[in-house]
């Protein structure tokens, strides 16, 4: 039963120690107890703090607590680590899990975990669990697929910590050696890094088109006809900015893919890295698309409330019924609706749990095929909106084109390039390249290549 | 190769036994076979039942089946457990997994698993898998992040069961000793425990405001002008109740957080528990918010169909165009739209898979910062709706304020309190408290404290 | 410390080898390095390819690489497997993980993994990881709950591969012996298998009703009054097809459940398989429901834009205000809105991450109880739309009933049958049957039965 005992040791009835009786320490202790561990809190003033501690936990002085367990969680602020120095003997050979975080990046010269290791060289420091909040520690199970990242020098130490993490219902990922600690400590401080660029683009475009349209519509009317229609800013203008930004960002989300294909075509191989800007761009396509969906959503709402606005009722209704206009108007609306429907579908399939349930081929089918179809529908929707006004000179107030014309440039380009790519001959070459073929490299042996799943 | 054999034993080619050929038994057997186990069904009448059993499974009498495996799943109703008594010898030292559930809570004096243990003291009973449906057992992989909860006295036994659970693609959580079994058996019987309170609040508020508005609008019109506008109940009234309830519940969802902060301020420490009512309240904030979103969603639909309702066309349209009214009306709509947009964003980020993908800081940024912004927008939206009618006496039929005024009280209070909290001086104190500082406790050593991730 | 070493061996500091420097090979190598493995690439031309390989990886000739590790990932196209034959000696006893995929199903007589095994009989071939894209291999952690399916003859080999998979943050499922490989290789090629049937139904229904309504509305008007209203196709017609298809598919999604109950009632037992067509039908209920939701969504948008369409303003508005019409119109709209609200709720709860967070009872409550309520509301919504036109002969152009009448048949039937099922006496029998009771089988011992969780 040697194995049973090792199991016994590695899983259960094992006592673990927690230094620090703050939020995180207490929540962690609670989860450990629930998972069947014996928990010993190490505290400077056991009695004052014990009142708050989860029922069933033991509270001892630091030294005694340290001796009682092999695994010790350090839920204490870095500023107070020095209290561990005198405990060096009790901590020798123990596994110290550093849960600490900082208030801002690069607050200290070295990572907290590395600092801890330097203070207690005899112990085996493992960084981990710091990416969790006290909250998600308390409600672990509901949060089952939350990853726990750990790193450290000693393999055995990391194994022990991973075992605990799994026992608590988390899935642990070993990120390597202690040098990664800094990265792990910066993680909780990050705020939507991949969303930064797309958000900047969205805000930039919105601002630009807002002022452009402000001049073309409101100010123009004021200057030329000295008519004050400034109130249009709230709805009419917003309802022009939203669709414009949405369409542009949607095309920005499919442009890099097209560029990449042309680059591969030009280079005649897929075995060369893309320029960094293209890589970065491709990595934020999802965010670009979701922001575009957001703007489309607002556009839909802004459009649907038009008839509710009371002054709409004074609009001059003398225009005669005209079949062409009816056709155009209805197709315009219909395309918009279908486009938005697909838009929403794309958004739903980019939800983590949905995309995880799809096979890779299914995911790329939706995101690429249906994605380009969405772009096509929305672009056609906009062209129909413009209709014959492209030609009438009255459209070009102060010789500037209206917003919808400007926003049609990019999507048209993307669609044209895409059209080029799916022409049989080009498509064939691309496919061969993706399967590892290299132009002018046929004497070289293309053996070591793996096709993308078709 | 001692280790290999232990692996061998603990994972594969191992035969497991299933007592009971009902739905659950059969589904379980099927999954076990797919996962590579040898499966032996124990049945009273092997031949009659075998027709239904998954292909590849073996069917034996109970005694023979019991002897053939170390791990035995009991997929039988508690009422029939007595048939296990005569098998005591064959079951000695075996691991019995109790999958049973009851039809209602507290149906029996003790938990089924404890009853089973008392019947077969020689065996090691483990409670588990009972929280799964036959369905989710059949489609395991698609349901990968479904937790399996187990409990039992013997560590080795639980290890063996956990190994099987993981092998079947579930993540197992050891909840402790057999005394927890009752809790696990009650779990499948629960029906939205955290939703109860929020739902009651929602229904209560809806009913209250429905009758209040019924009297103020329909009955008032009938009594004073003997005009029957009862048909308004279906849309107009519903479209007043929905936004009112939505706004109130949204503020109810941010009130506890504000109260908690003030409590911490008042106590000057975070190391004291909140009163239970506050804890319970904070635990159902998510549900409150989602219900509020639901009502807001209905409000949007009810508003958008207004122009479709045919009698709208008879509305008197003689009012002159007026700039202020236009400004007010459009801002009112615009704020509503933006508010709803953020509302939806909050809803999306509270989807498990999305919130799990966020770092803790990102999640709290959205739920707190954007959440309060949503509340602000929706409140402003309502104030604009009221506009100058707050002053005109005609608004106060029978001396009662209209619904939107009543519903503005709570959000205004919440926003004011929040405003107080973010004033620099107060904010600084709160932050220090959250980082473990305690008022008038500076001689006590604040070492054992861990800052919330800022 | 024998255990520690075995851990050491099974987890860390272990070198793994990757044959093939294509996309998949490189991505895999990168993940392996991140997870703390030592990675050796086997390449025909180490120097030319090394430029592209992840930093920290070693590149050797195939023979040397093979000797350096126990576990070898074969990220090479099947066509090139023959280069492994001369390496037979170095590969003896090694674990070869076959990651390959084909471009279409049944491309080769036997599965790639089986072919590989036949080429290198000395090695232990394991099929696995082929269901992942290069992309999801690179971004593993974000994709944590992605399942990895593996199969193979040797248990130890599979254990080793599972250990790596878990280390990389995936959850591995052992699907059995190498004979399953074909199935695993076909998986990435599949494109929404469960969606095929529902999609066909949806398209079929849409087409049928489109032409039916085209004749009844557009062509009829043209023939009888020689009036061209073809422009109505874009919105009016679409807005008739969508709700019709949506309602029919929603009822198709609840019909099988009702049929199944009646079948059990008729058979007097639940221990007999349902006919295959019924099983298949029940398995695609979710897809049917989601498609129905999609059509309902379009219906809502199409309805809401009605007042925006410019010619709507010419509609004859002379009809007098009439209380009954007002009541009917508003109830019609209100029921539609509530129905759609529940519709959306059903859709949300069928998101994997949401349904996984629900207990089985909660899930079935929503999908069954609320589902039938949705069907009821939507059906009532349609009946109110028809209202008294059911009787007026003018409704039946060319003696054909309008679309909404046709689409009312199925839901009405489903609701009637459901009504029958919930009548106390029938309900009691069903419940007993579901708990394992069998009619006329009481002398047979119903011991081996397990109630569905109530």
Which residues in chain A are contacts of C353 at CB distance < 8 A? 351-353
**Given a cut of 60, is residue B38 above it in pLDDT?**
yes
The mean pLDDT of A377-394, rounded to a whole number, is: 85
Which of B38-47, B142-151, B185-194, B394-403 comes out lowest in average pLDDT? B142-151
The pLDDT score that the predictor gives to residue C452 is 35
The pLDDT score that the predictor gives to residue B143 is 41
The count of domains in chain B is 2
The pLDDT score that the predictor gives to residue B248 is 96
**Given a cut of 70, is residue A71 above it in pLDDT?**
yes
pLDDT > 90 fraction of chain B, expressed in percent and rounded: 35
Domain contains C454: no
The pLDDT score that the predictor gives to residue C400 is 84
The pLDDT score that the predictor gives to residue A310 is 60
C: neighbours with 3+ CB pairs under 8 Å? A, B
Q: Does residue C277 sit at the A interface (CB-CB below 8 Å)?
A: no
Domain contains C279: yes
CA distance C209 to B404: 45
The pLDDT score that the predictor gives to residue C414 is 96
Name the residue of chain C whose CA is nearest to A451's CA: C77
The mean pLDDT of B322-328, rounded to a whole number, is: 81
A213 vs chain C: nearest CA distance in angstroms?
A: 23
What HEC string does chain C produce?
CHHHHHHHHHHCCCEEEEECCCHHHHHHHHHHHHCCCEEEEECCCHHHHHCCCCCCCEEECHHHHHHHCCEEEECCCHHHHHHHHHHHHHHCCCEEEECCCCCCCCCCCCCHHHHHHHHCCCCEEEEECCCCCHHHHHCHHHHCCCEEEEEECCHHHHHHHHHHHHHCCCEEEECCCHHHHHHHHHHHHCCCHHHHHHHHHHHHHHHHHHHHHHHHHHHHHHHHHCCCCHHHHCCCCHHHHHHHHHHHHHHHHHHHHHHHHHHHHHHCCCCCCCCHHHHHHHHCHHHHHHHHHHHHHHHHHHHHCHHHCHHHHHCCCCCCCCHHHHHHHHHHHHHHHHHHHHHHHHHHHCCHHHHHHCCHHHHHHHHHHHHHHHHHHHHHHHHHHHHHHHCCHHHCHHHCCCHHHHHHHHHHHHHHHHHHHCCHHHHHHHHHHHCCCCCCCCCCCCCCCCCCCC
The pLDDT score that the predictor gives to residue C94 is 93
pLDDT digits (tens, 9 = 90+) for B5-16: 433 333 345 899
The pLDDT-based confidence of C436 (bands split at 50, 70, 90) is low
Mark whether A184 and A215 lie in a shared domain.
Answer: no
Mark whether A280 and A415 lie in a shared domain.
Answer: yes
Range with the largest mean pLDDT of A91-105, A334-348, B31-45:
A334-348
Q: Does residue A307 sit at the C interface (CB-CB below 8 Å)?
A: yes
pLDDT > 70 fraction of chain B, expressed in percent and rounded: 86
CB contact at 8 A, C58 and C85 = no
The pLDDT-based confidence of C282 (bands split at 50, 70, 90) is confident
The mean pLDDT of B391-397, rounded to a whole number, is: 77
Of the partner residues C132, C133, C309, the one whose CB lies closest to the CB of residue A329 = C309
The mean pLDDT of B136-145, rounded to a whole number, is: 51
Domain contains C28: yes
Range with the largest mean pLDDT of A240-249, C22-31, C135-144:
A240-249
Mark whether C105 and C209 lie in a shared domain.
Answer: no
Domain contains A454: no
**Given a cut of 70, is residue C271 above it in pLDDT?**
no
Handedness of CA A9, A15, A18, A22 (dihedral sign): positive
Domain contains A12: yes
The pLDDT score that the predictor gives to residue C136 is 63
The pLDDT score that the predictor gives to residue A13 is 56
The pLDDT-based confidence of A73 (bands split at 50, 70, 90) is very high
Q: Does residue A315 sit at the B interface (CB-CB below 8 Å)?
A: no
Of the partner residues B334, B352, B448, the one whose CB lies closest to the CB of residue A43 = B448
Output the domain CATH number for residue B146: 3.40.50.720
Mark whether B200 and B175 lie in a shared domain.
Answer: no
Q: What is the mean pLDDT of chain C?
A: 82
Contact B360 A135 (CB under 8 A): yes
CA distance C251 to C414: 7
Of the partner residues B4, B25, B44, the one whose CB lies closest to the CB of residue C156 = B4
CA distance A375 to A417: 13
Which three-class secondary structure state does DSSP give residue A36? coil
**Given a cut of 90, is residue C307 above it in pLDDT?**
no
Which three-class secondary structure state does DSSP give residue B58? strand
**Given a cut of 70, is residue A257 above it in pLDDT?**
yes
Q: Rounded to the nearest 10 degrees, what angle do helices B2-11 and B155-167 cross at?
A: 70
The pLDDT score that the predictor gives to residue B245 is 96
**Given a cut of 80, is residue C445 above it in pLDDT?**
no
Mark whether B201 and B134 lie in a shared domain.
Answer: no
**Given a cut of 60, is residue C78 above it in pLDDT?**
yes
Contact A76 B453 (CB under 8 A): no
Q: Is B36 left (phi over 0), alpha (psi -120 to 50) or beta?
A: left
Strands B15-19 and B171-174: unpaired
The pLDDT score that the predictor gives to residue A435 is 67
pLDDT > 70 fraction of chain C, expressed in percent and rounded: 86
Domain contains B327: yes
**Dihedral of the CA atoms C83, C84, C86, C90 (nearest 10)?**
150
**Given a cut of 90, is residue B389 above it in pLDDT?**
no
The pLDDT score that the predictor gives to residue C233 is 87
Of the partner residues B21, B188, B298, the one whose CB lies closest to the CB of residue C337 = B298
Which residues in chain A are contacts of B438 at CB distance < 8 A? none
pLDDT digits (tens, 9 = 90+) for C150-192: 888 888 898 889 888 877 767 777 777 788 888 888 887 878 8
Which of A35-49, A317-331, C293-307 comes out lowest in average pLDDT? A317-331
Mark whether A316 and A259 lie in a shared domain.
Answer: yes
Which residues in chain A are contacts of B454 at CB distance < 8 A? 103-104, 189
Residues 48..107 of B with a Cβ closer than 8 Å to C: which?
48-49, 52, 75-77, 80, 83, 99-101, 103-104
The secondary structure of B70-115 as a DSSP string is: SEEEE-S-GGGGGGGGGGHHHHTTPEEEE----SSTT-SSS-HHHH
H helices of B350-391, in order, are 352-357, 360-364, 371-386
Which residues in chain A are contacts of C7 at CB distance < 8 A? 155-156, 159
Domain contains A221: yes
Which residues in chain A are contacts of C356 at CB distance < 8 A? 353
Residues 344..383 of C with a Cβ closer than 8 Å to A: which?
351-354, 356-357
B: neighbours with 3+ CB pairs under 8 Å? A, C
The pLDDT-based confidence of C8 (bands split at 50, 70, 90) is very low
Which three-class secondary structure state does DSSP give residue A135? helix
Final residue before a domain boundary, out of B161, B189, B217: B189
Mark whether C156 and C212 lie in a shared domain.
Answer: no
C interface test, pick of A180, A337, A454 with most C CB neighbours within 10 Å: A337
A415 vs chain C: nearest CA distance in angstroms?
A: 24
Radius of gyration for chain C, computed over Cα atoms and rounded to the nearest angstrom = 31
Which three-class secondary structure state does DSSP give residue B124? strand
pLDDT digits (tens, 9 = 90+) for B87-126: 988 999 999 999 888 878 888 888 999 999 999 999 999 9
The pLDDT score that the predictor gives to residue B313 is 53
Mark whether B181 and B253 lie in a shared domain.
Answer: no
**Given a cut of 80, is residue A223 above it in pLDDT?**
yes
Final residue before a domain boundary, out of A155, A189, A223: A189
- Classify residue C392 as exposed, middle or buried by CB count within 10 Å of its CB (0-12, 13-18, 19+): exposed
Q: Which residues span the domain enclosing B306?
A: 193-449
Mark whether C287 and C145 lie in a shared domain.
Answer: no
Of the partner residues A159, A365, A450, the one whose CB lies closest to the CB of residue C75 = A450
C59 vs chain B: nearest CA distance in angstroms?
A: 31
A: neighbours with 3+ CB pairs under 8 Å? B, C
Strands A15-19 and C38-42: unpaired
What's the pTM value of the predicted model, to 2 decimals?
A: 0.81
Which three-class secondary structure state does DSSP give residue B128? strand
Higher pLDDT, A441 or A333: A333
pLDDT digits (tens, 9 = 90+) for C329-358: 888 889 999 999 999 999 999 888 888 777
Mark whether B96 and B130 lie in a shared domain.
Answer: yes
Cα first-last separation, chain A: 50
pLDDT > 90 fraction of chain C, expressed in percent and rounded: 35
* Other C-beta atoms lying within 10 Å of the C-beta of residue B86: 11
| Cα of A60 vs its chain's centroid, Å | 43
The pLDDT score that the predictor gives to residue C58 is 87
Mark whether B274 and B296 lie in a shared domain.
Answer: yes
Handedness of CA C160, C163, C164, C165 (dihedral sign): positive
The pLDDT-based confidence of A36 (bands split at 50, 70, 90) is confident
pLDDT > 90 fraction of chain A, expressed in percent and rounded: 35
Range with the largest mean pLDDT of A238-242, B318-322, C432-436:
A238-242
Residues 141..200 of C with a Cβ closer than 8 Å to B: which?
142, 145, 147, 149, 155-156, 158-159, 171, 173-177
Size of interface B-C (CB pairs under 8 A): 189
The pLDDT-based confidence of B424 (bands split at 50, 70, 90) is very high
C36 vs chain A: nearest CA distance in angstroms?
A: 5
Final residue before a domain boundary, out of C189, C207, C240: C189
Q: Does residue B224 sit at the C interface (CB-CB below 8 Å)?
A: no
The pLDDT score that the predictor gives to residue C239 is 92
**Given a cut of 60, is residue A11 above it in pLDDT?**
no
Mark whether B69 and B90 lie in a shared domain.
Answer: yes
Strands B124-128 and B147-152: antiparallel
The pLDDT score that the predictor gives to residue A312 is 59
Give the residue among A235, A445, B87 at the shortest CA–CA distance from C79.
A445
CA distance A154 to C14: 14
CB contact at 8 A, A52 and A26 = yes
């Amino acid at each position: 039963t040697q194995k049973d005992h090792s199991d016994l040791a590695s899983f259960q009835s094992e006592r673990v120690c927690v230094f620090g009786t703050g939020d995180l320490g207490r929540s962690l202790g609670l989860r450990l107890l629930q998972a069947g561990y014996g928990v010993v809190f190490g505290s400077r003033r056991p009695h004052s703090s014990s009142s708050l501690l989860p029922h069933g936990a033991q509270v001892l002085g630091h030294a005694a607590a340290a001796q009682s367990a092999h695994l010790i969680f350090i839920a204490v602020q870095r500023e107070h680590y020095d209290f561990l120095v005198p405990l060096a003997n009790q901590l020798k050979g123990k596994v110290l899990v550093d849960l600490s975080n900082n208030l801002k990046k690069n607050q200290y010269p070295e990572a907290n975990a590395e600092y801890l290791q330097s203070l207690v060289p005899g112990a085996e420091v493992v960084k981990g669990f710091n990416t969790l909040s006290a909250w998600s520690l308390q409600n672990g199970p509901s949060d089952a697929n939350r990853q726990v990242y750990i790193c450290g020098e000693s393999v055995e130490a990391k194994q022990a910590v991973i075992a605990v993490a799994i026992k608590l219902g988390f899935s642990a990922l070993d990120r390597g050696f202690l040098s990664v600690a800094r990265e792990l400590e910066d993680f909780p401080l990050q705020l939507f890094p991949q969303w930064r660029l797309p958000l900047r683009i969205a805000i930039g475009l919105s601002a630009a088109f807002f002022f452009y349209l402000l001049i073309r519509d409101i100010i123009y009317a004021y200057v030329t006809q000295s008519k004050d229609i400034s109130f249009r800013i709230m709805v009419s203008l917003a309802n022009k900015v939203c669709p414009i930004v949405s369409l542009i960002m949607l095309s920005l989300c499919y442009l890099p893919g097209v560029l990449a294909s042309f680059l591969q075509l030009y280079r005649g191989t897929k075995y060369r890295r893309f320029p960094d800007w293209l890589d970065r761009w491709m990595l934020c396509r999802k965010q670009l698309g979701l922001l575009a969906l957001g703007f489309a959503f607002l556009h839909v709402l802004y459009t649907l409330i038009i008839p509710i606005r009371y002054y709409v009722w004074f609009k001059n209704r003398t225009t005669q019924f005209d079949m062409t206009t009816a056709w155009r108007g209805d197709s315009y609306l219909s395309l918009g609706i279908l486009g938005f429907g697909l838009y929403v579908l794309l958004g739903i399939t980019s939800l983590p749990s949905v995309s995880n349930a799809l096979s890779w081929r299914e995911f790329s089918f939706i995101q690429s095929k249906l994605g380009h179809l969405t772009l096509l529908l929305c672009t056609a929707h906009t062209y129909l909106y413009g209709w014959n006004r492209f030609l009438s000179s009255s459209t070009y107030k102060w010789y500037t084109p209206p917003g919808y014309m400007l926003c049609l440039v990019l999507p048209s380009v993307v669609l044209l390039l895409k059209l080029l790519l799916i022409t049989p001959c080009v498509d064939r070459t691309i496919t061969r390249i993706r399967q590892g073929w290299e132009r002018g490299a046929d004497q070289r042996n293309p053996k070591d290549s793996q096709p993308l799943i078709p």
